Structure 1
Amino acid sequence: MLDVKDFSFFENQNSFDFKGFLIKTASYWKWFVLGLIVCLTIAHQINIRKQKIYSLETTLAVSEQENPLFTSNTSLVFNWGGTSDQVQTIGTTLRSRSHNELVVDKLSFYIDYLKEGKYFTEDVYGYTPFVINLDKSKNQLAGIPINIKFVTPNEFEVTIDFTSNSAQVINYSTNKYDNVDVVQGILKKRFRIGQQINLPYLNCNLSLVDNDENYIGSDYIIKMNSFDGTVSRFRNVKVAIDERAGSIIKLSMEGTNKARIVDYLNATVKMLMKMQLDSKNLFAENTIKYIDTTLSLMEDDLKDANNQLKDFSRSKNVLEIESGGSTYQDQILELDIKKDDIDRKLNYYNVLNSYLKNSNDFSKLPAPAVAGIDDINVITNVSKLIQLSIRRAEIGYSAKGDVMFDQIDNEMASVKKVLLENINSAKAAIQYESSQVKNKIFQAESKIMTLPDDNQEYLSIMRKYNLSNSIIDAYLQKRNEAQIVKAANLSDIQFIDPAKDIGDGLIGPRTGVNYVIAIFLGLLIPLLIVFLIFFINNSIQNTDDISNLTQIPLIGVVGLKHSDSNLAVFEKPKSALSESFRAIRSSLQFLYKKQNVSGTKTLMLTSSVSGEGKTFCSINIATVFAMSEKKTVIVGLDLRKPKIFEDFNFKNDVGAVNYLIGQNTLEEVTLKTKIPNLDLITSGPIPPNPSELIMGETMRELMEELKKKYEYIILDTPPVGLVTDAVELSNYADVTLYVMRQNFTKKEMVNLLNNRVKRDELSNVSIILNGFENKAKYGAGYGYGYGYGYGAYSNGYHEEDEPKNMFVKYYKRFMKKINF
């Protein structure tokens, strides 16, 4: 007994047919092959058309290098600030515009050296046999390619294509643009190697770096770019600070030319080392300048005192006079030196105080030690102020916004405040000491006043002379210390691993990854399409679909025919397709016997819609009955769309319609076919009332007459899913065969069949699956039915249709050979 749930289409659609999906996927193997070919071809074209991208790096260390000539007696001390303060500043400097401007200008990287390749214009910097030497003070053609072709070992040809009557030029010394008049068209001129080119838009010369004459006939392209644009492009250097070693910095850069990357990375580090060393030496240089200025003034005083001493010595006995005041001379000189030392300190503090209040740039401050100041607080704070001032200048072009400036300005303001307090407290102590020295000098001068006039005059001259000489000696000592410090200073930045082209560094295009992606997409895209087809395609795929949708028995499976004619059994009686119809015949005989049908057996074939192969099945089932020497007739009762006559090469002028309307007798409408024991009654002309004719009494009379003459009557009826003619004809049929076709019959049509059976509109129904082909299996004969498709084991028992697929054809031949 049929259960209601067996007719529920929606309930049976909830489970995923994984096996069916795999079979369906394997059947589209050509799509996967095509997908792989297309995707791999695209990946290959992308790989060969894209320029290779390289990434190279250099490693440097930041460590505070102590001056090896510093000793405990060296009074010129400068605390640079320590390693931790420098690393972040170095990272910012390397990306700053001002720093990269210096590097780009040094390397002249605004000049592009290019060469036309097969797929792209290649950057050949470092691989050309020549270099361009620009006159930076004159105009250069901006943005327009300049073609250079070597015609002889000593001559080259310059070609420029001017598209208008004016051209833009750039002056790299001022970084300004201008326009010059040119002649529109192609300019060609020859020059000698080393010859200065002096044109309104080009001022340079070409020098060779490779004497190999293989460059003759080679074409190159030179292009002068925007200086600012080039700087912006090279500011993309990546700065990475090692987390485990904060003083280690790695610089890396990406580009299409390894030689350009190597030169730039090494040049930017060397420029940084020079700038850092210059900043470090700035303290000593400021001190030297301060001392030189003071010495120039003291030398004048020393010369004046020396001249006075000479004049005095001409008219006086110096030895006698000197012996008379020798006691006071050493005493007053010591006091004068001490007073000068105090005055220099006070003067430095006054200058420093004024400088702090009236200036914002403290990078030019001399060392406090030059004035004899040994106060560690003053020395430390002055060095901090110089460091902050230098750092502020360095980030002037790189900092975005005012946040970093405000931070440094706040630090400088804090240091200035502390330094001003240091100055006030130091001056108070020094002023007290100054008053004490002045009192001692006054006392000494009072004693000198008691000496004779000559002695007083001599002591005055010697006092001035010795003081100037002593001060000059002290300053010379300080100057020598500053020179020693400057000469012995070392940069705190050292190369660990300079950038170098060692053959690797390729990061793109990632050809291997592209091919992997291509393989993945080549398989994924067809798989998604198959997956989509699998779910969108709501047609019957296999016998499992039928068994899942209905409990109506499946009587047989008919494979694909590989011929144009529907007379498959008659034309190839030993084929596997013929065997499938014989299997259906055996099943039908079992059904007739089970139903106790005696005498003439009537069989009706119908389907859901047109095109499912009911006429094909009708002809071949009738053929197998006829070939078993059973008197058989096919009655074409598809009165609306007749076509069974075509397969037997008959006309449809007279048929069942003529009999039903009483126009012709049974003998007149019956046609003998070329198949023994098989007759045919075509449908005849299309009537205006086919349903009424089938429901009429003449239809019953026709069936009764046929039963008297034939053992098997095959009724070829219209689709039951479109019209009700087949429902009316089922009353005359002992068995009804419902034909379904693989990849054609919709699953919802099975629900329609279930409903008709449930309502007893159709009885004794069995199903035939027509047009079945298991594409996942390439063995011959599989899938043509139950028990009659044995793959390679069927050799010699069936006449196989020659498959249209060449792959299947050769596969089958191979299988026959290995099983021979």
Structure 2
Amino acid sequence: MLDIKDFSIFENHSNFDFKGFLLKIASYWKWFLVSLIISFTIAYQVNIRKEKIYGMQTLISIKEESNPFFTSNTSLVFNWGGTSDQVNGISTIIQSRSHNELVVDKLQFYIDYLVQGKYNLEDSYGAVPFYIDIDKSRGQIANTLIGIKFLSESEYEIRIPFVANSVSILTYSNNSYSNTAVQPVEFIKKYKVGEQVLLPFLAWKLQINDNPGFYKGNEYFVRFNDFDGTVSRYRGINVSSEDKGGSILTLGMQGTNKARMVEYLNSTVKMLVKIQLDGKNQFATNTIKFIDSTLVNMESQLKQTGNELKTFRKDKNIYEIEGGGTKFSDKITDFDVEKDLVARKITYYNSLKSYLNNSVDYSRLPAPSVAGIDDPNIVANVSKLITLSTQRSEMAYAVKSDKIFKDFDNQMRAVKDVLLENIVTAKSSLLYDLSLVNAKIGQAESVVKRLPEEQQELLKIKRKYDLSDNIYNEFLKKRNEAEIVKASNLSDIHFIDSAKDIGGGLIGPKTSVNYVLALFLGILIPLIFVFGIFFINNSIQNADDINKLTQIPLIGVIGINKDSLSLAVFDKPKSALSEAFRGIRSSLQFLYKKQQVSGSKTLMITSSISGEGKTFCSINIATVFALSEKKTVIVGLDLRKPRLADEFNLTTQLGVVNYLIKQNSLAEITNSTDIANLDVILSGPVPPNPSELILSEAMRELIEELKQKYDYVILDTPPVGLVSDALELAQYADVTLYIVRQNYTKKDMITLLNTRVKRGELNNASVVLNGYENKAKYGSTYGYGYGYGAYSNGYHDEDEKHGLWKTIFNKFKKNN
């Protein structure tokens, strides 16, 4: 049946030693200090190497401007959708590829003008004393720094370091790449300012700006970048509205060169104004083109009719012929003009119907007014169709959403269907008007036929001439109206605040953010390491670890021996380390008394594995007994790996093994030391069968003989975790001290100790924590001199503070 105590192991593991963790973190303060110094140094270097980032803005308004010459006859432009639709459309155009291609090409912002700064190349557009006038039809070396050094005010030197046998060249006229062969050496050549440079990889003229300042001896750099890549960067221009649905737009850019951003922001708005105004004038432009093409035909026709009239009048008394026919001529001319107007309207409707049915681009439709059509439904719908078609074509490169295009197509289809219905209705009415005019003309012509033949011929010629002249004048009038409308149109886009460098605009780099990040990482990185050490390290760290893992009492804590000698108590009897061993002596006397051990007393000292300090503890525990005037002997029973001879500088080869094999007596193997009342018996030569020797009856005789001679017998045994020798010697020990070394002994070894004690393999066992470093690093302490800090002043000898090299030398000497 399970007992509740069986689950104690889970309770032990679930308890997180938060205090110990904090103390451990504090003990690694040097790590944190170094980490913070490194992280802040990196942050500082990053900050000073980063170029300053500026932000520039321009503010524009979008206001629907009506034409001041707007009348039912002259208005050739019709704005649809309202201001909010215009704002959305303009925002889209500003970020479109086609729009930014126009601006980048106009400004030639694919050319970088650079100077060498303290840490890197800096964009110096607007600050260099020159500009490059390139031949776009010729190739320019792509993405390569071209050094320009002014040897004088009128002469400069080009330097290009070629590292391969060919270079890539870029032709900006068609945005194409190609390669050309070069020599893999540094190209150097001198040119005059303004001289045409014609090379297989370069074609330009270098011109000096107005007021260039002093530039002789200065070196600059030029680089030709990919056109599409440059356009992509400038498409990132930020467009925001002051309020939802508002007509105020803020255009913003961020970069390292304020002059370049100011130029681009203002140029993009100017280009936008031009595009928008061209769109508003599209109706008038289409009308003017249509009228111009018609006037060409009308001029030839008018000239031909005039020649006929001139020929007819030759050698004739024109006044006698005209007499009596003038009134008929004027009347028929009026009818002809009326008929032509109706016919032109019908022709326009037929052409419009055919265009609507057979085309998808309606941006080139002429205005209905060219045919004398003033029907508001026709004019409005044609204007709307032109506007929608123009907007759709402008969005082709900026918008990838099929839904938006479908919306435009649906709107245009709806307008087209309405127009087709309007055309049917208008044509039926015009055909009726045409029949009435034809009837009137027929009546007039029947009267004219009664006139003399020459009068009829003259009326016929004049009729043709007057009709052509009236039509020509009418088209000239319409053209003038279109020109007036075009000239008087105003853009809907206006500058409120143009972009301007007024000395501010600095927005980066965010140095404070980098320093905060450095602080965070400087703490986090060592914290992760400490966290890993704390949780991954399975070694004993402090007394609390021992108390959690075993019920065996902890009777002492031994600090680190910072000197190379093992006789710590004898060398420094007033040190804190010596007091710790005296504390263990007091605890041992209490244990002996509790076990009612009288007379000579034995103490076995062992550990889990080698290196935990059991020999060091054996020597110093024996020393404190000897200093209390008790006859004490240390018996080296680690027959496999003896060390006592080195600690006491003994050269004899005799020891326990010689006694056990009956070669020498106890007196012969016993060695006196410089410490009064302390003798040492070495282990002797390494035997082939140490376990059998320990199990022999001679071992019992040795212990009995020692107990008769000494007050305290200290048995320095091998580790129980490696060999079984110590377990065989446990029967001779009144008390067993199990040495645990801080940050060395694994916690699993304590489980092994519990098992051996539970089985009775070790008698009267107690634990000693050896190699304890300090309170701040590992938590609670036990024993004299540890944990009292400055309060121990005057009771203990102060430990000498060694330098780095001294400490390394002592450790090396101790290990060897």
TM range (shorter): 0.7 to 0.9
Amino acid at match of 1:598: S
Using a 3 Å threshold, how does the CA distance of structure 1 residues 112 and 647 change in structure 2: closer, same or farther? Answer: same
Q: Which residue of 2 aligns with 1:428?
A: 428
How much has 1:743 moved relative to structure 2?
A: 0.8
Using a 3 Å threshold, how does the CA distance of structure 1 residues 227 and 763 change in structure 2: closer, same or farther? Answer: closer
Amino acid at match of 1:99: H
Amino acid at match of 2:762: L
Provide Cα deviations, 1:297-325, integer angstroms capped at 9, x if missing partner. Answer: 66677775799599599946689957x97
Is the Cα contact below 8 Å between 2:114 and 2:125 reproduced in 1? yes
Is the Cα contact below 8 Å between 2:24 and 2:777 reproduced in 1? no
CA distance in 2, matches of 1:736, 1:560: 22
Using a 3 Å threshold, how does the CA distance of structure 1 residues 482 and 768 change in structure 2: closer, same or farther? Answer: same
How much has 1:602 moved relative to structure 2?
A: 2.1
After superposing the two structures, state which structure 1 stretch, 40-49 or 280-289, moved more: 40-49
Is the Cα contact below 8 Å between 2:73 and 2:369 reproduced in 1? no
Q: Which residue of 2 aligns with 1:571?
A: 571
CA distance in 1, matches of 2:165, 2:731: 97
Amino acid at match of 1:339: K
After superposing the two structures, state which structure 1 stretch, 168-177 or 107-116, moved more: 168-177
Q: Which residue of 1 aligns with 2:799?
A: 801
Scaled by the length of structure 1, what TM-score is found? 0.87
Is the Cα contact below 8 Å between 2:333 and 2:466 reproduced in 1? yes
Provide Cα deviations, 1:598-633, integer angstroms capped at 9, x if missing partner. Answer: 222222212122211111111111111211222222
How much has 1:155 moved relative to structure 2?
A: 1.9
Is the Cα contact below 8 Å between 2:160 and 2:188 reproduced in 1? yes
CA distance in 1, matches of 2:181, 2:630: 105
Q: Which residue of 1 aligns with 2:368?
A: 368
CA distance in 2, matches of 1:180, 1:638: 84
Q: Which residue of 1 aligns with 2:134?
A: 134
Is the Cα contact below 8 Å between 2:93 and 2:398 reproduced in 1? yes
After superposing the two structures, state which structure 1 stretch, 299-308 or 769-778, moved more: 299-308
After superposing the two structures, state which structure 1 stretch, 138-147 or 647-656, moved more: 138-147
Q: Which residue of 2 aligns with 1:585?
A: 585
CA distance in 2, matches of 1:636, 1:4: 44
CA distance in 2, matches of 1:514, 1:29: 22
After superposing the two structures, state which structure 1 stretch, 655-664 or 305-314, moved more: 305-314
Scaled by the length of structure 2, what TM-score is found? 0.87
Provide Cα deviations, 1:27-55, integer angstroms capped at 9, x if missing partner. Answer: 22222222223333344444455555555
Provide Cα deviations, 1:668-719, integer angstroms capped at 9, x if missing partner. Answer: 2222111112122222222233233333333332233223322222222222
Q: Which residue of 1 aligns with 2:544?
A: 544
Using a 3 Å threshold, how does the CA distance of structure 1 residues 659 and 130 change in structure 2: closer, same or farther? Answer: same
Q: Which residue of 1 aligns with 2:774?
A: 774
Secondary structure of the structure 1 residue equivalent to 2:752: helix
Amino acid at match of 1:734: D
Provide Cα deviations, 1:242-281, integer angstroms capped at 9, x if missing partner. Answer: 7712645454445444433332233222212212211211
CA distance in 1, matches of 2:235, 2:112: 17
Using a 3 Å threshold, how does the CA distance of structure 1 residues 244 and 739 change in structure 2: closer, same or farther? Answer: same
List gaps (5 residues or longer) in structure 1: 810-820
Q: How does 1:313-712 map to 2 (within 5 A)?
A: 315=317, 321=323, 335-398=335-398, 408-409=408-409, 411-444=411-444, 471=471, 474-502=474-502, 510-712=510-712
Aligned length: 801
How much has 1:583 moved relative to structure 2?
A: 1.4
Q: Which residue of 1 aligns with 2:244?
A: 244
Q: Which residue of 2 aligns with 1:813?
A: none
Is the Cα contact below 8 Å between 1:162 and 1:187 reproduced in 2? yes
CA distance in 1, matches of 2:243, 2:590: 86
CA distance in 1, matches of 2:490, 2:24: 76
Is the Cα contact below 8 Å between 1:562 and 1:803 reproduced in 2? no
CA distance in 2, matches of 1:766, 1:431: 126
Cα RMSD after superposing both structures: 3.7
Using a 3 Å threshold, how does the CA distance of structure 1 residues 146 and 77 change in structure 2: closer, same or farther? Answer: closer
CA distance in 1, matches of 2:486, 2:230: 35
Is the Cα contact below 8 Å between 1:622 and 1:678 reproduced in 2? yes
CA distance in 2, matches of 1:185, 1:787: 75
How much has 1:192 moved relative to structure 2?
A: 2.8
CA distance in 1, matches of 2:614, 2:699: 21
After superposing the two structures, state which structure 1 stretch, 153-162 or 601-610, moved more: 153-162
CA distance in 1, matches of 2:631, 2:182: 103
Amino acid at match of 1:630: K
Q: Which residue of 2 aligns with 1:153?
A: 153
Is the Cα contact below 8 Å between 2:332 and 2:444 reproduced in 1? yes
CA distance in 2, matches of 1:103, 1:75: 31
Q: Which residue of 1 aligns with 2:738?
A: 738
CA distance in 2, matches of 1:73, 1:366: 14
CA distance in 2, matches of 1:315, 1:453: 14
CA distance in 2, matches of 1:471, 1:398: 44
Secondary structure of the structure 2 residue equivalent to 1:152: coil
CA distance in 2, matches of 1:190, 1:117: 24
CA distance in 1, matches of 2:602, 2:164: 94
How much has 1:402 moved relative to structure 2?
A: 7.3
How much has 1:174 moved relative to structure 2?
A: 4.9
Using a 3 Å threshold, how does the CA distance of structure 1 residues 150 and 634 change in structure 2: closer, same or farther? Answer: same
CA distance in 2, matches of 1:349, 1:493: 35
Q: Which residue of 1 aligns with 2:124?
A: 124
Secondary structure of the structure 2 residue equivalent to 1:260: helix
After superposing the two structures, state which structure 1 stretch, 657-666 or 441-450, moved more: 441-450
CA distance in 1, matches of 2:452, 2:405: 67
Is the Cα contact below 8 Å between 1:579 and 1:788 reproduced in 2? no
CA distance in 1, matches of 2:438, 2:314: 28
How much has 1:573 moved relative to structure 2?
A: 0.6
After superposing the two structures, state which structure 1 stretch, 573-582 or 496-505, moved more: 496-505
Provide Cα deviations, 1:96-124, integer angstroms capped at 9, x if missing partner. Answer: 44333322221122322233445433332
Is the Cα contact below 8 Å between 1:115 and 1:221 reproduced in 2? yes
CA distance in 2, matches of 1:607, 1:35: 38
How much has 1:154 moved relative to structure 2?
A: 2.5
Is the Cα contact below 8 Å between 2:196 and 2:204 reproduced in 1? yes
